[in-house]
A and B are shown apart, each in its own frame.
Chain A
Amino acid sequence: MIDNVNELLVQTFLSGHATSAEKQALREWLALSEENRAYFREQWTVWHLSGVAVQSDQPVFDTDHAWLERHQGMEVSEGRGWHIMWHKVAWRIAAVLLFLIVPASAFLLGRKVGVPDSSVHSIETYSGTHSKIVLSDNTVVWLNSNSRLECKPNFGKNNRTVHIYGEGYFEVARNEHLPFIVETSQVSLRVLGTKFNIRDYDYDDFERVDLTQGEVSLYNASYEQEMTLRPNERMIYDKKTGIMRKERFNVTEANLWVSEQIFFNEKPLSMIASDLNRIFDVKITVAPAVANKKFYGLYNMENTTVDEILNSIAATGQVRLAKRGNEYKLY
């Protein structure tokens, strides 16, 4: 049994308030028995693990970025980096083509449009455009490029259910009586009134929801999983394994596409290229040798062309740019 005195000693040490004499006493106590040490190890472990939950100043750890850096090192050393990249580019092109042949009952090219009643129930955006839509319940949706939003019949009357393909940022008008439901290919999301971003492009391996305000609950029917998100939390759903998980994210980076700005903060060139491919509907390829170089930049989407962005990157002298028609190569 651990007595009260030593219990207090351990707690005082963990909270960082132990004096030198107390530390010395703790050390001697630990040397006495394995039972004491095991008790300390468990308390220490719980204390540090729980810090993640209560400390608001924890930095944001960027998994995508870290993996990309590591992944490229691994792939290059095995000499097959290009296969992966081309595979992804091919899917992207296929996805664009798919959207072009889907008939649209309304399409918008970057204009801000209000939808005052429930007669319009499908809105679609193409490559290089995004739209701001006001639904009949006053919910505002920014629809990113290559995305489609469908409202269920009688939307705003007896339901507030929409289906999204692609990416959208939602500011849901509060209505306690009629929950707002967003369905995606895998997950359905239920809210009363919140702000969140949802992304589920069919070429993405992961579906994600970033919550900036309020609370959302998520449900995945095929695996019967539920999850609740709080502000600054992100749900990531792996479409291959069906695993849903949660991580923290930095709000300022999340929805920049909504503000019509393009922002790279020390982002690897390969990720910048894939963003630009989607935003401007161009084809930029990056040589493996420079794929990992990082750049910083902030551009206003409305009056910047992809050439201007690429030229400014090339102007750093770190990479070279070649252009043929709509195709660019950074090397």
Chain B
Amino acid sequence: MKRTLDYLIKPIANGDIASFETLYRYRYADLCGWAWQIVGSKEKAEEVVDDVFTQVWKNRSTLSTILHIDSYLYAAVRNSCLNELKSKSRRQENNTLSVDADIDVEILAEAFHDENDGYEQYAFQEVQTRLAEAIDSFPEKMRNVFVQSRREGLTMDEIAVRNDISANTVRYHLKEALSRLRQVLRSDK
């Protein structure tokens, strides 16, 4: 059940608070989940998402140039989260243990520094629900491997031992799982 909320762009740009409320109610929790995945803190996630909505409302007059509201929101939340990670790693500058975290931030900055981040081509509507459904429909072995990697943070070798399969099979399942999920993200708008 994929619904685009793009019809809300115009009324919001014209200052209709009810349309803004609709957008907020439909996407707040999903976007918080998205932000939480990136920053790992509930409070930060809520703060980031609320700030993004504040910006949407404040700059609503420029909103009409946006094609897809969900791509816009997901990209904006992601950018704020990446900035948050960046300033967090800067705050911990003196801490020698954070060298690795610095590299993580640099990797993300390198990957996302382009203006064209590709999010316009993705279908973000109800994306978390759709991904959950796709994961449910995986063959059992693939689902187990993916969930153990994603939820329990096991390494590929650990997953191989636990499920009594080869490391190559684990790799195959993970690769196939991600490729199926990419199809969900790319499915037509």
Instruction: Report whether chain A binds chain B.
Output: yes
A binding-site residues for B, Cβ under 8 Å: 7-8, 11-13, 15-17, 20, 23-24, 26-27, 30-31, 34, 37-38, 40-56, 58-59, 61, 63, 66-67, 70-71, 74, 206, 225-227, 236, 238, 240-241, 243-248
- Given the complex, which residues of A lie within 8 Å of B171, measured CB to CB? 8, 11
B3 within 8 A of A: yes
Pull 8 A–B residue pairs with CB atoms less than 8 Å apart, ordered by A. A11-B171, A27-B103, A40-B111, A59-B45, A67-B25, A71-B21, A226-B1, A227-B1
Given contacts A15-B155, A48-B34, contact A42 B3 (CB under 8 A): no
Given contacts A54-B135, A61-B29, contact A243 B111 (CB under 8 A): no
User: Main secondary structure on chain B at its contact with chain A?
Assistant: helix
Contact B111 A30, beta carbon cutoff 8 Å = yes
- Given the complex, which residues of A lie within 8 Å of B32, measured CB to CB? 61
Contact A67 B28, beta carbon cutoff 8 Å = yes
| Chain B interface category by residue count | 35 or more
**A28 CB to nearest B CB, Å:** 9
B114 within 8 A of A: yes
Most central of A20, A34, A44, A56 by chain B CB within 10 Å? A44
A47 to B127, CA, bound (A): 12
Contact B175 A7, beta carbon cutoff 8 Å = yes
Given contacts A20-B103, A26-B107, A54-B146, contact A66 B28 (CB under 8 A): yes
**A167 CB to nearest B CB, Å:** 19
Contact A54 B151, beta carbon cutoff 8 Å = yes
Contact A11 B118, beta carbon cutoff 8 Å = no
Partner of B132, one of A11, A17, A53: A53
Contact A246 B129, beta carbon cutoff 8 Å = yes
Given contacts A15-B155, A51-B150, contact A59 B100 (CB under 8 A): no
Contact B1 A63, beta carbon cutoff 8 Å = no
Binary interface profile of B, 77-118, with partner A (CB < 8 Å = 1, else 0)? 010000000000000000000011001101110111010011
User: Main secondary structure on chain A at its contact with chain B?
Assistant: helix
Contact A50 B111, beta carbon cutoff 8 Å = no
**A182 CB to nearest B CB, Å:** 20
Partner of B22, one of A47, A61, A238, A246: A238
- Given the complex, which residues of B lie within 8 Å of A34, measured CB to CB? 114
Contact B135 A50, beta carbon cutoff 8 Å = yes
Known: A15-B155, A58-B33. 7 other contacts (CB 8 A): A20-B99, A27-B106, A44-B108, A50-B150, A236-B25, A246-B126, A246-B129
- Given the complex, which residues of B lie within 8 Å of A66, measured CB to CB? 24, 28, 46, 50
Contact A46 B128, beta carbon cutoff 8 Å = no
B72 within 8 A of A: no
Return the 4 tightest CB-CB contacts between A and B, nearest first.
A53-B132, A61-B32, A52-B33, A48-B37
**A105 CB to nearest B CB, Å:** 37
- Given the complex, which residues of B lie within 8 Å of A244, measured CB to CB? 1
Contact A37 B111, beta carbon cutoff 8 Å = yes
Most central of B26, B45, B107, B175 by chain A CB within 10 Å? B107
Contact B28 A61, beta carbon cutoff 8 Å = yes
**A2 CB to nearest B CB, Å:** 11
Contact A55 B178, beta carbon cutoff 8 Å = no
Residue of B nearest to A43 (CB): B178
A57 to B181, CA, bound (A): 21
Contact A27 B110, beta carbon cutoff 8 Å = yes
- Given the complex, which residues of A lie within 8 Å of B122, measured CB to CB? 45
B38 within 8 A of A: yes
**A60 CB to nearest B CB, Å:** 8
Contact A46 B1, beta carbon cutoff 8 Å = no
Given contacts A24-B103, A61-B33, A225-B1, contact A45 B185 (CB under 8 A): yes
Contact A53 B135, beta carbon cutoff 8 Å = yes
- Given the complex, which residues of B lie within 8 Å of A40, measured CB to CB? 111
A208 to B142, CA, bound (A): 34
A55 to B146, CA, bound (A): 11
**A232 CB to nearest B CB, Å:** 12
**A229 CB to nearest B CB, Å:** 11
Contact A58 B26, beta carbon cutoff 8 Å = no
A131 to B114, CA, bound (A): 60
- Given the complex, which residues of A lie within 8 Å of B22, measured CB to CB? 238, 240-241
Binary interface profile of B, 37-67, with partner A (CB < 8 Å = 1, else 0)? 1100010011000100110010000000000
Partner of B118, one of A42, A48, A67: A42
